[in-house]
A and B are shown apart, each in its own frame.
Chain A
């Protein structure tokens, strides 16, 4: 489903990822862990084809993303749901209007949109708040709205970039439970987080990164705090 083969990504002289290789199968739930700047978000952006790898090969759902033509990028991205760390909801649209955007983009029929919106908003517990604007919601609710938008199109892959980064433990657990529920329906979930307690809670596969390098990849793993260069320096 997701294949990284010796992937390196450089931004000028800065190396964001260095020869990273891993493979994620269909229906897997994988945590990407590591401290800030480890390369988690870079991996998510590479999967979304926001930019190209400097070296190496990335295959998503069997397609080499470097070979996907610009015109085909929208169709490619429609197969992937994303929960962004900063939510990326449109502030001048209601929860409902935000959540149904992926379906409107695909020109799905209105009746079908209404049905799926109700289903997904009930799943994330926001049906009663569907007509509110993001500014009128609590942070946990905004994150759940973002999650609802990511899953409404029934994506094959769900990417979650620090989805619990701004949440309290209770809200964080709710989000994790929702992600697990989505994963139970054969959706591949790749979640970037540095929250050790959440990683340890689910006992799923853990890919650990530090300074752009993959330092461990363990099935049913635990979050292991990597030794940072700056610690040595300090």
Chain B
């Protein structure tokens, strides 16, 4: 199953888990599974209307899903999905 890498700022919502195994054949399904497993992460990823928040960047392998098929981007078994956060510390 695909593995979703959770960035540090959001791990507080995944019981500290850095990698969450999710089910699904595309990003949308994988994110649904993630938010089912960890419901408190949902408002940080999605707007009230259910759209992915603009500052949320998801990469499948090396590629931003915005450059692929968005949340319909297909994912393969074992593929790494990375959630890339905005961080500002310096």
Does B bind A?
no
A residues with a Cβ closer than 8 A to B are none
